[in-house]
Amino acid sequence: MKLNKFSKVIFVLSILKGIFVVSLILSLFLWSVPILSFNSDIWLIFQERSGVILDFENARNYNELIVEFFKTGLNLEFLNEKELSHMKDVKTVITIANVLFIFSFISLISGFSYFSKSQRKFLLKALRKTSLFVFVITLIFSVIILTNFHSSFMIFHKIIFIRNFVFPADSLLKILYPDEFFYGLSALYLLSVLIVSFIVAVISHRLKLK
- Give the range of the structural domain holding residue 40, as residue numbers without chain letter: 2-209
Q: What is the mean pLDDT of the chain?
A: 87
Buried-state track 153-163, b at ≥16 Cβ within 10 A, e below 16:
beeeeeeebee
At residue 209, does pLDDT exceed 60? no
pLDDT digits (tens, 9 = 90+) for 9-60: 566 667 878 888 899 999 999 999 999 999 999 999 999 888 886 777 888 9
Cα–Cα distance between 180 and 91 in angstroms, integer? 21
pLDDT given at position 22: 92
At residue 206, does pLDDT exceed 90? no
3-class SS letters over 39-106 = CHHHHHHHHHHCCCCCCHHHHHHHHHHHHHHHHHCCCCCCCCHHHHHHHHHHHHHHHHHHHHHHHHHH
Residue 171 is given by DSSP the state: S
Contacts of 150 (CB under 8 A, 6+ apart): 179
pLDDT digits (tens, 9 = 90+) for 174-188: 999 999 999 999 999
At residue 3, does pLDDT exceed 60? no
Confidence of residue 94 (pLDDT cuts 50, 70, 90): very high
Confidence of residue 2 (pLDDT cuts 50, 70, 90): very low
Counting the structural domains of the chain, the total is: 1
pLDDT given at position 20: 86
- Cβ(47)–Cβ(186) below 8 Å: no
- Cβ(190)–Cβ(141) below 8 Å: yes
Of 52, 16, 12, nearest in space to 184 by CA: 52
Confidence of residue 116 (pLDDT cuts 50, 70, 90): low
Share of the chain above pLDDT 90, in %: 55
Sequence letter at residue 73: G
- Cβ(208)–Cβ(125) below 8 Å: yes
- Cβ(140)–Cβ(202) below 8 Å: no
Residue 148 is given by DSSP the state: S
Across the range 74-93, mean pLDDT stands at 91
CB atoms within 10 A of CB 94: 17
Across the range 98-114, mean pLDDT stands at 87
At residue 126, does pLDDT exceed 90? no
Stated pTM of the model: 0.89
Confidence of residue 117 (pLDDT cuts 50, 70, 90): low
